[in-house]
Amino acid sequence: MVDFNEAFGPGDVDGGLINVVIEIGKGSTLKIEWDRENKVMKLDRVEPQVFTKPTSYGFIPQTLDEDGDELDVLVLTEEPLPTGLVMEGRVVGIMKFIDDGEVDDKVVVVPSDDRNTGDGITSLDDVNPQLIKQIEFHFNNYKALKKPGSTKVDHWGDAAEAIEVIHECIERWNTK
């Protein structure tokens, strides 16, 4: 297996373009995570069917969020993206998120070359408000059956806030 953190950097962060490694496809109940130590994608758990992922989900290589994992990314696409795919994403915002009392932010991107759906999305204001509500509902409730109240979407931020968080996570990676 490729070590994504060795093979790929974070991307052109200041230009708003980042590299994303996909862990989970949109619509999946499989919670797949990159195991940095063993350099494999690993099934962490299976979620209840009611909590399928509303977007494809991945991480930015060579970053560490405050929870000790690579910085998470939500990828807005019509189709699910396969596990292990590496893509370039255009940053459109961030979901500031708390999970079990820890910061676990989610950068929001569209594929950088998406000519069909992504070209019209340059900020979170361009995203269908119903999708934003679905994402927020998912993350506020996906642990409700086993640990109610343990997750909370704090707020949504713009691309500039997302880029600031990405830089902080790169710095954390470089000093680990």
Residue 143 marked ligand-binding: no
Q: Which pair of structure tokens corresponds to residue 161?
A: 């806030």
Pairing of strands 106-111, 72-75: parallel
3 is an annotated ligand-binding site residue:
no
Alpha helices in the chain (DSSP H): 4-7, 129-141, 159-174
Query: Catalytic: 104?
Result: yes
Whether residue 37 is annotated as binding a ligand: the answer is no
45 annotated ligand binder:
yes
CB neighbour list of residue 147: distance below 8 Å, 6 or more residues apart: 100
> Which member of 14, 44, 69, 104 is catalytic?
104
Is 99 a known ligand-binding residue? yes
Residue 105 is assigned to a ligand binding site: no
d(CA 53, CA 44): 15
Which residues are marked as active site? 104
Annotated binding residues for substrate, written as ranges, equal 31, 45, 57, 142
Annotated binding site for Mg(2+): 23, 67, 72, 99, 104
